[in-house]
Structure 1
Amino acid sequence: MSVVVTDCRTEYLTEPLGLDVLQPRLFWKIASDERHVHQSAYRILVSASRDSLSRDVGEMWDSGRLESDQSTHITYEGTALASDTDYFWKVCVWTGKDSSPVWSEPQRWSMGILSRTGWKAQWIGRKADPGLEKQPAPLFRKEIHAAADVKRAMVYVTALGIYQLRVNGEIVSHLFAPGWTDYNKRVQVQAFDVTSKLHQGSNAIGAILGEGWYSGTVGFLHDKVYGERPFLFLQLSVEYTDGTKELFVTDGSWKTADGPIRYSDFIKGELYDATAERTEWDEAGYDDADWQLPDIRPGYNGLLTAAIEPPIRITRTLKPISVRKTETGTYIYDMGQNMVGWTELTVAGERGTKVTLSHAEMLNPDGTLYLENLREAVQQDHYILNGGGEERYEPHFTFHGFRYVELIGYPGEPDLDTIIGKVVHSDTAVAGSLTTSDPMVNKLYSNITWGQRGNFLSVPTDCPQRDERLGWTGDAQIFARAATYNMDVSRFFEKFIGDMIDAQQPSGAFTDVAPDAGWIRHKMWNTRLNWSAPDNAGWGDAGVIIPWTVYLMYGDRRILETHYDAMVRWIEYLISMSDHFVRPAYANYGDWLSIDADTPKDVLATAYFAYSAKVMGLISETLGKTDDKRRFDQCFADISAAFRQAFVDEQGRIHGETQTVYVLALQFGLLTPEQQLQAAAHLAEDIRARGNRLSTGFLGVGYLLPALTDHGHLDLAYTLLLQEEFPSWMYSIKHGATTIWERWDGWTEHNGFQTPSMNSFNHYSLGSVGEWMFRYMAGLEADPEKPGFKHAVIQPHPDGRVTSVQASYDSLYGRHEVRWEVTESGGFLLQVTVPANTTATVHVPGRNVVSEASLTPSYTSGRRTASFQVGSGTWAFTSQLAREQRDGIVIIG
């Protein structure tokens, strides 16, 4: 049997640096070409040196042989870990009682600074230039002397603002670090190994600061939300080969000056003057005699925490697909894809020539850029040429949401190689893939992933182009499950939940956006729109729903344990704000941007109240909190009864009679069995009365197709998925969409563009249908009893209009795959792949079910579905599906 231990991780990461988790969790995968491969035991060694680890010595921790099939979330239980120290580990596994041990390759992680007393650096900044509304990005430099050959050098760096770090002329940091947090509460610290960048003798450390989320333009509050100007904080720990150590920190001895970035702002764009460049300013030997000494900030009251979120990076580049010259002499490029990031410019011309890059998502009917939906955002970057040859430019501390780029003031005749699109987002690795026989369904899935790619940038933003870009909690919770299938968002959501906890109010209410960004403090919605609800159903509930989603998909108990008290406070707050378990109708948003349907806000709020209580019962059970489980289960029962009493009549009609009220009641389990049948019928009736069209907004859409599928209307779920008439997912695709639109009617043939004040063309919420595509259409589901896909439930729901589906998902155990095909005669072919150290229950629809391995089935649904228990490996099944005609359509299923 061939067995390999692969993909070892620490805290979800490959060889992470600067952790501050005192008991890191370890992960590994097992790969094998055999069936039924299970880990029977493991042994972990952790050492403070590679040498001792190579000799199979784990002086920090030797777990000994442990009889266990667990290969994820193994908590370190060795000697206490030290600050600013490297550790090395490996694991060996056994896959049977008498099997030989198989060792992994050695792995590394490092600990960051673990106490406040370990920080010796000071916060340094540059005083503002008087009279300038937009300040230049300050440069900082320090020349240091390495006394001997460098054995280890680790730099810990952060900023109030955002920074770019350079060592001896080379950029070593990520984009937009340290990321967005509530700077009044905490700021993330990044660690970088710069051992190979330093040498004995003179070295230079350089940094550029941007306003970022700290003092730049953010959301509706415009700018200066957390502070007036940015500050840098850096600590470089150097160990020499002779055993001595030295510490270099930001302090009053550094030097600062302005530079060519005359301003750079997330919302207002960038101006770069290449004539003001300071050549080799970030290298040793540079003359900085005319630079200023920095301004010292007295202190910082927030927490310095190790970075949790994935780094922001350029993940791909795109070439434009066309360019045309306008009547005014500018050039408009089509990138072929609505994207987030910026454009890199190649240009040559006279010194002082100014070139502008203007960005937009759509074009007006006359071919000009559609800019009205940007509100106060200015998606323009300006570059002033230095002259003397070919120059390349890309912005530093801004990003844009766009498909079209207008090139203004270009000297000469540009071509398709003049600009390149840089795609930028939090680097969450691709986890899933989904391909079907239907090209438009495939395009829908592509649009969903591009929407996630464009809006997962430090926080899950609502849109990447207008003057907002906030971490809306309701949008995130409805899309969270789809997001986990698409990409590895384990760390991304862990960080975002921390943002929600930071913003939680003393009352227990979770906020509408996180980080807060001054939202509560300034009451901006209250003053501008008279929206002053203390909480909003579906938004605040993200504080319970997202942690549970992370647990289901990754098996992460720690996120439940860490935030349990905060979740309890949310439920207790909802109880206090309810009238005999019925929530009031004060919410601001409701089923946001529903189409021709007005869901009563008290119905929606009470339904979500029930769901949060239901999930809290599950969380309490998971954590072994028996008394709390009883309490929350009773709370759910009481809310459900109150819901039925207040909102459901004898015919099972729910107050408001919108698709969303039926969908939420069905999916949240609020109805009696008889009422479920009635509600499902009313839901189907409403859809058909609308010409097989949906009316759900943000909160209803994610549950719409699951509710139909779970309650006997699979055919209608597929009809809505494939619907091409307005409103539908396919309508936008028919009209050129390459991302998910914010609203169903963002653009229509009969009305053109919707109101520009709320009309993003890159917004992931309505893409929550991606969850149904994986869980129901492909049939790839996590088992809550063995979460994280330790045990998978594979239950495809074929229809026949989509004749084939191929889906995969990379769990913490390996790749799960489902492939199915429906033949013209109704034959159903299913192939599933289950990774080593996991199992699956496979439900095969249809009659005359055959498994190629002669497995013994059990039967459900009146023998219409055969179920099989399988171990790891690849398995094939066949069956015969029923054929029937409904509404003039031949349905196979």
Structure 2
Amino acid sequence: MNWHARMIAAAADFDGAPLLRREFSLESGHGAVTRATLHLTAHGIVEAWLNGRPVSEDLLTPGWSAYEWRLRYADYDVTELLEDTTVLGLALGKGWFGGRLGWAGGGSYYGDSLGAFAQLEVEFEDGATQLVVTDDSWASGPSAVLANDLYDGETIDARRRDEAWKRPGFAGDGWTGVREVEFDTATLTPYIGPRVTRWAALPVQEVTTSPSGRTLVDFGQNLVGWIKVRVQGEAGAEVTIRHAEVLEHGELGTRPLRSAQATDRYILSGGVDEFEPTFTFHGFRYAEIEGWPGELDPADLTAVAIGSELTRIGEFHTSDPLLNQFHENVVWGMRGNFVDVPTDCPQRDERLGWTGDIAAFAPTAAFLYDVDGFLSDWLVDLDLEQKHHDGIVGFVIPDILKKIEQATDFGPVDSTAIWSDAAVWVPWTLYQAYGDDAVLGRQFDSMTAHVRRVESLLSPAGVWDTSFQFGDWLDPDAPPEDPALAKADTGVVATACAFRSATIVAETAKLLGRTEEQAEFEALAARLREAFNAEYVRDGVVKSDCTTVYALAIVFGLLSAADEAFAGDRLSELVAEAGYRISTGFAGTPFITDALTQTGHLDDAYRLLLEKECPSWLYPVTMGATTVWERWDSMLPDGTINPGEMTSFNHYALGAVADWMHRVVGGLSALEPGYARVLVAPQPGGGLTEAETSLVTPRGPVSVRWTLDGDTLTVEADLPEGVDGVLRLPGEDDRSIGAGHTSAQATVRTASADIIR
């Protein structure tokens, strides 16, 4: 791009939400306009209009990236919006650039001034081009927004609304000029991933009064976005809406928000007012309403769910309503946390791109939605942050923690297992899901830099038992105040993850024809495997003798055949000893059902999956959850919120088991990257009598359906043209299948439903 625009800021603060405008006329003598394109970005978040008509429905533009080195811009075709005289109007909010970030209480870490950058290119019939750009000729003024912050909410004064600023001839009171802001246009880059949009609207399900007399609204679903309001009352009256995910003993459960206010305030004009706070977002199911004039009509409140625009590609359904609800919770949790970056949670004073969460969840995400662009965009920021941090992949991307003194209690940030392994596991997942090795080529330097950094941290024994580790974070047996205090030895977890990453990088190098790196990482993987067994394995017993270490050792392929068989049996014993309740945290949870299945303990995997007592995947469902919780017991059975300081009711990481559900319960998986060949291999159990799984692959739609009638398993599969696969049924030899419809039956024996349930 040949940039002529400048980054401009309002001459005054205007409550952190200034308006910017430029009126212009189309040049004459060039014929009709053939095309007009607006390139738009900001320091902060920006919304744009041409003569009062919105340029797009995008939200929170330009999102959150590693602003120091990369600021994305959006392109809009605005040909149909131009008139002979036109006003280009821009509204700015704080967003991630100028608002609060993290739990330390600070903000504006990227800069002190909100700014806008716009370049409108108008092409005429005769080939001439007219440019309208942000520069010192623009005007700035106040908006109706009195306060805005992603964490704290938005305040809007309807008495200050004046839509005339968007149209020609406006000369409002209090308007002034602008100033240019120092800005390097070399950081500008187009979006790779999708924009943030509205994707659902939910009506009020119930209006109640709390024990303390407060008005509560329930939308029936934990979501991420805001409440659109229609209200009429006395001019100057104020309506306050505070949001939360749960109720605690009938009152709004705000303690998990920590310092986030999550509160929107609306000052009424005296007429019919509509409010939509597009400079913030909240994670909520419930809202507490104060100051509403007269009787509240539920039709005047609509919950608007927002998130990155993603296409749903994977579906899953079974005969078990609780399991179906759990899967739906996984979907909603993902959508709520895929708001421009893959965040840990959407409600409290955090909402950061924690690398460990997406490392665990990426396979599930890549099945449910097409996340190729979304995660590829985020990986660019990971690579940039890593290059400026000695090869270290930080805990969060974008890495805001580096800007906050004493941001964590974990000491100096260095590479850490699972979290930093996102540099390897996420691009590998995208390649496996969509079959395009371009992501591996783009991320190869990042992948190798991570594993080499890990290699530099190994102890003389060749294992990764140095530096801080999150380990099996949120092990349910850890105390609420210390979620890192897990049963699994952190060195065992870290070394296992290092082996997996080295193995993946070696395979990546082979695919890309990088023979030297292939040899390097194959050798490293071999050394890590040898060191792991020498240091941590004795006659099949893995150090710390708990479910997570066995799950990782089995699934990652660290053990000999004899030791793996022992480990599988020991894992089965431990699962039974725990009463088939969950005993794993972030490290073990994505892999434990696969480890049980791989070693011949499918019935145990089903019993674990379908357990309803706490801790378990279905316990939150029995408690009315509509998203996946951060902790297995985020809410205690008596309806009290977990006493830990860190408690969220919308975290997707522990929903990573849905990947196993798709492949093993549903029976649909890839034999080759991008589903060039497909494995149809349902493994019934748990008393389920049917399941249906479908996926829109890069080569077309694939579906698997099965029913179990007594001991008779009936499987129906459909593959697209050009795709073949393997049908694998219990007790039967593998069978090749081709495109089109396949139907088959087999006799199977599964564990009694009574035993499972």
TM-score range, shorter chain: over 0.9
Question: Corresponding residue for 1:844?
Answer: 729
Question: Corresponding residue for 1:94?
Answer: none
Q: SS at the partner of 1:496?
A: helix
2:343–2:354 contact (8 Å) kept in structure 1: yes
2:298 aligns with one of 409, 416, 429: 416
Question: Corresponding residue for 1:461?
Answer: 343
RMSD of the TM alignment (CA)?
Answer: 1.7
2:384 aligns with one of 502, 526, 536: 502
Change over 3 Å in CA distance of 1:286–1:525 after alignment to 2:
closer
Question: Corresponding residue for 2:684?
Answer: 798
Question: Are residue 828 (structure 1) and residue 713 (structure 2) matched?
Answer: yes
Question: Corresponding residue for 2:483?
Answer: none
Q: How many angstroms apart in 2 are the aligned matches of 1:838 and 1:152? A: 42
Q: How many angstroms apart in 2 are the aligned matches of 1:327 and 1:557? A: 58
Question: Corresponding residue for 1:539?
Answer: 419
Question: Corresponding residue for 2:531?
Answer: 642
Change over 3 Å in CA distance of 1:522–1:692 after alignment to 2:
same
Q: How many angstroms apart in 1 are the aligned matches of 2:643 and 2:65? A: 31
Question: Are residue 166 (structure 1) and residue 49 (structure 2) matched?
Answer: yes
Question: Are residue 609 (structure 1) and residue 498 (structure 2) matched?
Answer: yes
| Residue 265 (structure 1) shift | 0.7
Change over 3 Å in CA distance of 1:183–1:302 after alignment to 2:
farther
Amino acid at match of 1:482: T
Question: Corresponding residue for 1:889?
Answer: 755
| Residue 844 (structure 1) shift | 2.1
Question: Are residue 511 (structure 1) and residue 377 (structure 2) matched?
Answer: no
Matches within 5 A, 1:264-279: 264-279=148-163
Q: How many angstroms apart in 2 are the aligned matches of 1:637 and 1:761? A: 41
1:138 aligns with one of 18, 43, 53: 18
Matches within 5 A, 1:108-257: 113=1, 118-129=2-13, 135-147=15-27, 148-173=31-56, 174-199=58-83, 201-221=84-104, 222-257=106-141
Question: Are residue 590 (structure 1) and residue 590 (structure 2) matched?
Answer: no
Question: Are residue 868 (structure 1) and residue 735 (structure 2) matched?
Answer: yes
Amino acid at match of 2:3: W
Alignment deviations for residues 287-311 of structure 1 (CA, whole Å, 9 cap, x no partner):
2575211111133265100011211
| Residue 802 (structure 1) shift | 1.0
Alignment deviations for residues 404-448 of structure 1 (CA, whole Å, 9 cap, x no partner):
011110001012212100001111111111110000010010000
1:687 aligns with one of 557, 571, 575: 575
Alignment deviations for residues 552-595 of structure 1 (CA, whole Å, 9 cap, x no partner):
00112111111211211111111111024201243241111011
Alignment deviations for residues 762-799 of structure 1 (CA, whole Å, 9 cap, x no partner):
0001000110011111121122xx31112112211111
Q: SS at the partner of 1:207?
A: strand
Q: How many angstroms apart in 1 are the aligned matches of 2:3 and 2:184? A: 12
Question: Corresponding residue for 2:233?
Answer: 349
Question: Corresponding residue for 2:480?
Answer: none
Alignment deviations for residues 130-152 of structure 1 (CA, whole Å, 9 cap, x no partner):
xx9xx330001111111353110
Change over 3 Å in CA distance of 1:498–1:256 after alignment to 2:
same
Question: Corresponding residue for 1:566?
Answer: 446
Change over 3 Å in CA distance of 1:620–1:789 after alignment to 2:
same
Amino acid at match of 1:167: L
2:309 aligns with one of 419, 427, 433: 427
Change over 3 Å in CA distance of 1:539–1:204 after alignment to 2:
same
Gaps of 5+ in 1: 1-112, 846-863
Question: Corresponding residue for 2:628?
Answer: 740
Amino acid at match of 2:467: Y
Q: TM-score, normalised on structure 2?
A: 0.95
Amino acid at match of 1:763: H
Q: How many angstroms apart in 1 are the aligned matches of 2:529 and 2:211? A: 63
Change over 3 Å in CA distance of 1:750–1:415 after alignment to 2:
closer
Q: How many angstroms apart in 2 are the aligned matches of 1:384 and 1:524? A: 38
2:610–2:756 contact (8 Å) kept in structure 1: no
Q: SS at the partner of 1:615?
A: helix
Q: How many angstroms apart in 1 are the aligned matches of 2:469 and 2:355? A: 14
Q: SS at the partner of 1:677?
A: helix
Matches within 5 A, 1:332-481: 332-365=216-249, 367-388=250-271, 390-481=272-363
Alignment deviations for residues 630-675 of structure 1 (CA, whole Å, 9 cap, x no partner):
221221111011001000112x111111110000001111000000
| Residue 127 (structure 1) shift | 3.7
Q: SS at the partner of 1:701?
A: coil
Alignment deviations for residues 848-878 of structure 1 (CA, whole Å, 9 cap, x no partner):
xxxxxxxxxxxxxxxx233222222111111
Q: SS at the partner of 2:675?
A: coil
Alignment deviations for residues 6-45 of structure 1 (CA, whole Å, 9 cap, x no partner):
xxxxxxxxxxxxxxxxxxxxxxxxxxxxxxxxxxxxxxxx
2:103–2:259 contact (8 Å) kept in structure 1: no
Q: How many angstroms apart in 2 are the aligned matches of 1:417 and 1:823? A: 46
Question: Corresponding residue for 1:623?
Answer: 512
Question: Corresponding residue for 1:662?
Answer: 550
Amino acid at match of 2:741: T
Amino acid at match of 1:634: A
2:219–2:286 contact (8 Å) kept in structure 1: yes
| Residue 524 (structure 1) shift | 2.9
2:33–2:123 contact (8 Å) kept in structure 1: yes
After alignment, is 589-598 or 548-557 more displaced?
A: 589-598
Q: How many angstroms apart in 2 are the aligned matches of 1:280 and 1:813? A: 51
Question: Corresponding residue for 1:581?
Answer: 462
2:11–2:176 contact (8 Å) kept in structure 1: no
| Residue 533 (structure 1) shift | 4.5
Amino acid at match of 2:254: L
Alignment deviations for residues 84-103 of structure 1 (CA, whole Å, 9 cap, x no partner):
xxxxxxxxxxxxxxxxxxxx
| Residue 128 (structure 1) shift | 4.3
Amino acid at match of 1:534: D
Question: Corresponding residue for 2:647?
Answer: 759
1:163–1:209 contact (8 Å) kept in structure 2: yes
Gaps of 5+ in 2: 478-485
Change over 3 Å in CA distance of 1:768–1:530 after alignment to 2:
closer
Q: How many angstroms apart in 2 are the aligned matches of 1:575 and 1:586? A: 13
Question: Corresponding residue for 2:698?
Answer: 812
1:788 aligns with one of 646, 667, 674: 674
| Residue 202 (structure 1) shift | 0.2
Q: TM-score, normalised on structure 1?
A: 0.81
After alignment, is 457-466 or 144-153 more displaced?
A: 144-153
Amino acid at match of 1:817: S
2:214–2:290 contact (8 Å) kept in structure 1: yes
Q: SS at the partner of 2:530?
A: helix
Change over 3 Å in CA distance of 1:457–1:421 after alignment to 2:
same
Change over 3 Å in CA distance of 1:676–1:523 after alignment to 2:
farther
Q: How many angstroms apart in 2 are the aligned matches of 1:769 and 1:302? A: 42
Change over 3 Å in CA distance of 1:708–1:619 after alignment to 2:
same
Identical-pair percentage: 36
Question: Are residue 704 (structure 1) and residue 570 (structure 2) matched?
Answer: no
After alignment, is 833-842 or 376-385 more displaced?
A: 833-842
1:262–1:273 contact (8 Å) kept in structure 2: yes
Q: How many angstroms apart in 2 are the aligned matches of 1:884 and 1:500? A: 45
Q: SS at the partner of 2:467?
A: coil
Change over 3 Å in CA distance of 1:884–1:698 after alignment to 2:
closer
